[in-house]
Amino acid sequence: MSKSNVIERIQSNLSNTIDAILNHQYLDSLEKNAINKEKLEIFVCEQYHIIANDRRNFAFMISKAATDLASKLFIDCLDAELNALGNLTFMADELATDKRKIENYEPLAGRQAHTNYLTRLAVYGSDAEILSTLLIDLAVWGANCGKMSSILKNKYGFGENSCVFLDKFATPLSEEFVNKSKELIYSAFLQSEKSLHTAGRLILD
């Protein structure tokens, strides 16, 4: 099988899971104004703890990257997480959620599963596994962030600044990041497409 379309092939194999995420009932409830302020606060608090952990994940990935290219790509990811943590404060301000409440919030295990699996990849996964997972997962996450931002602006009265956290993630990955990630993934293709598929499936699940 061609290595040049391995990411697209994995995405196709995981299309049912991807479709389920893109059509999640949370978005439907949000569209119907059925998500109240308290539940939106949960989103903010969970994201705070997820991003705080992902920041450490990417820092660790940088420290163990096998090549300069992988290190540079993970530095880009770390920068994005640092910016996201700052951008999240604007959404918290919109909801009048103070920092103490966010920091004292008890995270839910299921909602932290994603970042904790990323920790496993950071420790045990190859650079190719991590990057293939990011290309697959961030596209789905970004699409839902775009939907959520639009709904919050149109149905909840959120301003542009309040949704900058979502809008930044909704922005597609740069062509340079995608191309360089694929370059690294293809160079490691012989390791096993199955491991790349498994990593992508688990992060989406």
Residue 3 has pLDDT above 70, yes or no: no
Task: Give the Cα separation of 19 and 173 in Å (integer).
Answer: 20
Residue 126 has pLDDT above 70, yes or no: yes
Residue 192 has pLDDT above 80, yes or no: no
State the average pLDDT over residues 56-77.
97
Domains in the chain (CATH in brackets) are: 6-204 (1.20.910.10)
Percentages helix, strand, coil for the chain (3-state, rounded to 5) are: 80, 0, 20
* Lowest-confidence segment of 65-69, 74-78, 201-205 by average pLDDT: 201-205
Q: Could you read off the pLDDT of 7-27 as tens digits, one per residue?
A: 999 999 999 999 999 999 999
- Spell out the residues 6+ positions from residue 111 whose beta carbon is closer than 8 angstroms to its own: 46, 50
Tokens 């995405």, residue located: 11
Q: Could you read off the pLDDT of 73-116 as tens digits, one per residue?
A: 999 999 999 999 999 999 999 999 999 999 999 999 999 999 99
Give pLDDT, residue 40.
97
Residue 191 has pLDDT above 80, yes or no: no
State the average pLDDT over residues 40-50.
97
- Spell out the residues 6+ positions from residue 184 whose beta carbon is closer than 8 angstroms to its own: 67, 69, 70, 73, 127, 128, 131
> How far is the first Cα of the chain from the last one, in angstroms, to the nearest whole number?
25
3-state SS class at 67: coil
Give pLDDT, residue 188.
74
pTM across the whole model? 0.89
Give pLDDT, residue 92.
97
